[in-house]
Amino acid sequence: MEKFEINILGCGSALPTTRHFPSSQVINFRDKLFMIDCGEGSQLQFRKSKIKFSRLNHIFISHLHGDHCFGLIGLISTFSLLGRTATLHIYAHKDLKMILQPQLDYFCKGMTYEVEFHDINTNSSDVIYEDRSLSVSTIPLKHRIPTCGFLFQEKPALRHIKREMIDRYSIPIAYINCIKNGYDFITEDGETIPNDALTSDPEPTRKYAYCSDTKYNPSIIDQIRGCNLLFHEATFAESDKKRAEETFHTTTKQAASIANDANVKRLIIGHFSARYEQEELLLDEAKTIFEETILAKENLKINL
């Protein structure tokens, strides 16, 4: 299987604790790196993770609360000190550019590379990044300010050709790619060999959804259905449900019921409020609804 790996750099919420860094993750998809959110200290965590710094070209910011973006200026500035040349693409609410550009102009004079800002519309599900093997779409969320999650979706791979069939029907090399793409083969005698006989199914495609910050929002279920892994915030325990509502956050059981209703394979909860010293209790609550739940923690790496 090609690499599709989630690295948790930070999974705390706004108030700093000695247990957590604020939100940030790095997705390693076939050795291309994608960052989601960039709270203060993300570059330090990134360095510690030993993931190759220079492979990061795309950063997705869910919303403009400080614990999701205060680490950007430090990271961008470090890249310039390191002499980076590749353009860095940042996908975020349009206000980010307005806030960050004056800082770049002041602190990063003589930048060695370009930062390109891509405005995202947090109200609709749009494909905001796409290459040959991956697409990234926004997931509209409901928080106190415009916010979206991100769906990382692997594109279908080519079908596997059966080696022995190439010999049996003397299939010319020029046809192989068409057959991998699903076409039948017609022999010199005019016989049609159906694609099914020539190929087997490729690996199933994988999906990762990141949903933070948001209040309980079942309208995302259709979009994230069947994900291999769902990261969902669970800022609060069930006993603090009222506080979750007031602050537009989710409780453990609400996150788990989203996972359950969307029939995802695994759920990882994070963005824990500083008030909980025993996060195992949060896990236990979520598991009463959705057994395949794990707790996010710093430096955790999950392979899909």
Told to check if 157 binds a second copy by CB under 8 A, we report no
Distance, CA of 158 to CA of 203 (rounded, Å) = 9
Told to check if 203 binds a second copy by CB under 8 A, we report no
Binding mask 31-60 for a second copy (x = CB under 8 A): ---------xx-xx--xx------------
Find the part of the chain contacting a second copy (CB under 8 A) among 13-21, 110-118, 156-164, 255-263. 13-21
CB 149 within 8 A of CB 62: yes
Find the part of the chain contacting a second copy (CB under 8 A) among 69-77, 171-179, 210-218, 287-295. 69-77
Instruction: Give φ, ψ of 208 to 5 degrees.
Output: -125, 130
Told to check if 135 binds a second copy by CB under 8 A, we report no
State which residue, 99 or 295, has the beta carbon closest to a second copy: 99
Catalytic residue among 37, 67, 213, 240: 67
User: Is residue 184 flagged as an active site residue?
Assistant: no
For residue 174, the one-letter residue type is A
Least distance between a second copy and beta carbon 271 (Å): 15
Told to check if 74 binds a second copy by CB under 8 A, we report yes
Told to check if 83 binds a second copy by CB under 8 A, we report no
Count of residues interacting with a second copy (CB under 8 A): 29
Distance, CA of 151 to CA of 148 (rounded, Å) = 10
Least distance between a second copy and beta carbon 285 (Å): 25
Told to check if 186 binds a second copy by CB under 8 A, we report no
Distance, CA of 255 to CA of 238 (rounded, Å) = 10
Told to check if 202 binds a second copy by CB under 8 A, we report no
Least distance between a second copy and beta carbon 204 (Å): 37
List active site positions.
67
Which residue ranges make up the site for a second copy (CB under 8 A)? 14-18, 21, 40-41, 43-44, 47-48, 64-66, 70-71, 73-74, 77-78, 81-82, 95, 99, 102-103, 106-107
